Amino acid sequence: MHRHTVMTMKRIIISAVAMAAFSASAKAFTLSLPEDIRYSVKLGYNIGGTAPLGIPATIRKMNRYKMQSNYSLAFDMQKQIKGRWGAMTGIKLENKGMEVDATVKNYHMSMVKGSSRLTGYYTGNTVIKAEEWALTLPIQATYTPAKNVLVRLGPYVSYVTSRKFDGYVYSGYLRENTPTGAKILMGDSESEGATFDFSDDMRHWQFGIDAGVDWYVYKRWGIYADLSWGFTNIFKKGFDTIEQKLYPIYGTVGVTYNLK
C-alpha cells in the first residue's frame, strides 16, 4: 500500500517535471526565433561504476574492470536567459555498464527467491556484470564563462529500459547464516561456482545530478565531459542481497556538434 503510494507520487512528480521541461522548451521554440536556442548532438562514452558510496571494509580488492558498450547519444537544447546564464534540457540514450571482478571478505548477503531465503557471509571472488540502458532527461542551469565554453549543472531523471545485474562467485566460500555456520566452497570457475541474477530487482526510474562542460574548439565542433552522480539505489526498495546501496557514478567524455 505505502510503497504503491510512494511510487505513484514519484511518477506524478516525474511526469510534472518532464512536462514542464518539454512545454518550456516547446514554448521557447515557438515564441522565440531559432537563434535563441542552440541545438546540439553529443556522442560520448561513459566510464565509471555502479558502486557503494564509500567502500566497506568487507570489499578488499578490485581485480579487474572491463569497459562495456557505454555509449551516450544526446540531443540538447540550450537557451541563454540572462547575461551569461541560461538553461538546458534534452534527451539522452545511454548505457551505464560495468564488469568488475572483486575480492570480498566476510561479506554479508541475503538472497530471497519466492518464499525461500539463503543468507550468510561470503569470502572470495565475485564477478559482477551490470548494464543499464536508459533514456535520460537532464534539466540544467548553464553558465558561459567564455564565448565557446558552456558549464552545466542540474538534476536528471532516467528511465532504465534494459536492466541487467548478474554474475557469479568463484574461488571462495559461503558461511551459512553466521561465520560459524556450514562452510560451502565455491568452485574456481564460473561453471563450478554459483551464478546470480538480480536483474529483476533493479528499479526503472533513477534520479541524480549531472555536471558538465562543453568546449567548442573548431567551428561547430566541440568536446564535452560530464559527471553524473546517481542518488537512487539501482535496486528496488527491500532488496537486501547486497548489503550496501549501489549508485551509478559515471563520467562521460565525447564530442558535441552544434546544429546551428
Partner 1 sequence: MKLHKLFLLATVCCTLSACFKDEPANAECDIEKAWIHAENPQDMFYNLSDTLVNVLYTDNLITFDVKPQTDLTAIAPIFQVTPGATVSPASGSVQDFSHGPVTYKVKSEDGQWEREYYVYFNIVTRTETDTIRYDFEDFTINERHYYAWNHTLSRWDTGNGGYAMTGMATKYDPDQGKYVTDSMAFPTIPYADGYDGYAVKLTTQNTGAFGAMMNMRIAAGNLFIGAFDVSMAVTDAMKATRFGEPFDRTPSKFRGYYQYEPGEQYQDENGSTIADKTDQGDIYAVFYRNHNEANETIVLNGDDVKTSPYIVAIAQVTNIVPTNQWTEFEADFVFSEDIDQTLLNNRGYSLAIVFSSSVDGAYFKGAIGSTLLIDKVELICTDIQ
Q: Which of residues 157-176 bind partner 1 (CB under 8 A)?
A: 173, 175-176
What string of H, E and C letters represents the secondary structure of 187-206?
CCCCCCCCEEECHHHECCEE
Task: Yes or no: say if 71 and 43 are a contact pair by the CB < 8 Å rule.
Answer: yes
Stretch that binds partner 1, among 3-11, 25-33, 59-67, 133-141 (CB under 8 A): 59-67
Q: Which of 1, 31, 33, 57 binds partner 1 (CB under 8 A)?
A: 57
- Shortest Cβ 59–partner 1 spacing (Å): 7
153 binds partner 1 (CB under 8 A): no
How does 190-213 read in b/e, with b if 16+ C-beta sit within 10 Å? Answer: eeebbebebeebbeeebebebebb
- Shortest Cβ 65–partner 1 spacing (Å): 7
245 binds partner 1 (CB under 8 A): no
Q: Which of 3, 11, 61, 84 binds partner 1 (CB under 8 A)?
A: 61
Rounded to an integer, what distance in angstroms lies between the CA atom of residue 252 and that of residue 45?
5
Task: Yes or no: say if 125 and 105 are a contact pair by the CB < 8 Å rule.
Answer: no
241 binds partner 1 (CB under 8 A): no
Q: Which of 9, 185, 255, 259 binds partner 1 (CB under 8 A)?
A: 185
Stretch that binds partner 1, among 52-60, 69-77, 199-207, 233-241 (CB under 8 A): 52-60
- Shortest Cβ 182–partner 1 spacing (Å): 5
Task: Yes or no: say if 55 and 247 are a contact pair by the CB < 8 Å rule.
Answer: no
> What cell numbers appear for 255 in the block?
564530442
Task: Yes or no: say if 98 and 50 are a contact pair by the CB < 8 Å rule.
Answer: yes
Interface characters, 89-128, with partner 1 (x: CB under 8 A): ----------------xx----x-xxxxxx--x-------
Task: Yes or no: say if 128 and 95 are a contact pair by the CB < 8 Å rule.
Answer: no
> Measured on CA atoms in the order 200, 204, 207, 210, is the torsion positive or negative?
positive
> What is the binding site for partner 1 (CB under 8 A)?
47-49, 51, 53-62, 65, 105-106, 111, 113-118, 121, 173, 175-176, 178-187, 192-196, 213, 215, 225, 227, 249, 251
